[in-house]
């Protein structure tokens, strides 16, 4: 999302587009999914959550063709905007000498095929197991980010320091050991439940209950551990409180940054 929202001129533009695009439309998709599944059970006597299987039940070639065409464009558009762009940007920042945005997209395409996603969507059980394991790793990351920005740094962010090395965000050779420890602690309570979801039967029943809340458990545990680690071993360098406005350090916006922004605005107006 930040790969696109960073081009917004005002915060309100980002807020309303995400409020409508995420909250309203995602909720609408969920409602339509439940409605269509229930309708299939009532009309065809088959319960299916896969929209492609729903189109097969229509027994109409034209309807099936246009339905598949819409889903093809939806999958391509979603992967390009939500997955390929972010992956390409991250990879080009890691290896700027070898990877650009286009090569990063090619690498993303190769990895996506090699990961055999059709096995993930083979059934509702396999898809649910994948989402559970996926959320298990995202939860601790969210907890660490919340603790770092809201608690330990008091909503202070130095933008220019994010792109300089060494600087206040370099930590130990570029790695935040507090975050690694909190991440591992956030994953640990859900490992037994993950083993159960992947077919291991010798897992206590309580681990299954914990795993059903894997994202929430990981977020809370990582948040507490990272906050405690930050209090025991505080950050080596602090940002001056007098230079912070709206969560951003004023010193992080240099004259050269402002000149670049003005130049881009002028270029956009001329085009």
Q: Name the pTM for this structure.
A: 0.65
CA gyration radius for the chain? 23
Paired residues of 271 in beta bridges: none
**Rounded Cα distance, 33 and 71, in Å:** 14
**Number of other CB atoms surrounding residue 184 within 10 Å:** 12
Contact 214, 193 (CB under 8 A): yes
Contact 190, 210 (CB under 8 A): yes
Strands 248-249 and 244-245: antiparallel
Q: Please give the pLDDT value at position 242.
A: 40
Q: Please give the pLDDT value at position 255.
A: 45
**Rounded Cα distance, 193 and 116, in Å:** 23
If you search the block for the tokens 């990961």, which residue do you land on? 115
**Rounded Cα distance, 73 and 211, in Å:** 34
Burial environment of residue 65 by CB neighbours within 10 A (0 to 12, 13 to 18, 19 or more): exposed
Contacts for 111 with CB less than 8 Å, ≥ 6 apart: none
Give the tens place of pLDDT for each residue, 62-82: 999 999 999 889 888 887 777
3-state secondary structure of 245: strand
Q: Supply 35's token pair.
A: 């409605």
Contact 37, 46 (CB under 8 A): no
**Rounded Cα distance, 13 and 265, in Å:** 17
**Rounded Cα distance, 41 and 48, in Å:** 8
Give the Å distances, CA to CA, from 28 to 22, 23, 32, 54, 83: 10, 9, 6, 18, 22
**Residue 36 φ then ψ, to 5°:** -65, -40
Q: Please give the pLDDT value at position 10.
A: 81
Q: Which residues of the chain are under the pLDDT cut of 70?
A: 236-271
Helix-helix angle 85-94:101-114, to 10 degrees = 110
Contact 37, 47 (CB under 8 A): yes
**Number of other CB atoms surrounding residue 178 within 10 Å:** 23
């Amino acid at each position: 999302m930040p790969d696109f929202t960073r081009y917004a001129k005002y915060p309100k533009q980002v807020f309303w587009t995400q409020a409508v695009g995420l909250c309203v439309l995602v909720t609408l998709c969920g409602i339509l999914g439940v409605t269509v599944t229930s309708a299939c059970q009532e009309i065809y006597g088959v319960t299916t959550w896969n929209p492609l299987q729903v189109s097969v039940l229509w027994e109409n070639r034209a309807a099936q063709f246009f339905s598949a065409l819409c889903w093809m464009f939806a999958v391509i558009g979603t992967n390009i905007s939500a997955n390929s762009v972010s992956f390409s940007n991250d990879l080009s920042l890691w290896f700027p000498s070898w990877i650009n945005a286009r090569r990063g997209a090619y690498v993303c395409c190769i990895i996506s095929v090699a990961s055999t996603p059709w096995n993930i969507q083979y059934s509702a059980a396999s898809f649910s197991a994948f989402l559970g394991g996926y959320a298990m790793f995202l939860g601790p990351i969210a907890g660490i980010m919340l603790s770092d920005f809201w608690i330990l740094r008091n909503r202070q962010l130095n933008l220019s320091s994010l792109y300089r090395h060494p600087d206040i965000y370099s930590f130990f050779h570029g790695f935040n050991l507090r975050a690694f420890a909190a991440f591992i602690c956030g994953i640990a309570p859900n490992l037994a439940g993950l083993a159960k979801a992947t077919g291991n039967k010798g897992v206590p029943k309580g681990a299954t209950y914990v795993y059903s809340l894997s994202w929430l458990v990981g977020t809370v545990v990582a948040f507490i551990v990272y906050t405690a680690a930050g209090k025991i071993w505080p950050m080596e360098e602090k940002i001056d409180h007098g230079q912070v406005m709206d969560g951003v350090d004023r010193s992080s916006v240099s004259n050269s940054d402002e000149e670049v922004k003005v130049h881009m605005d002028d270029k956009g107006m001329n085009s």
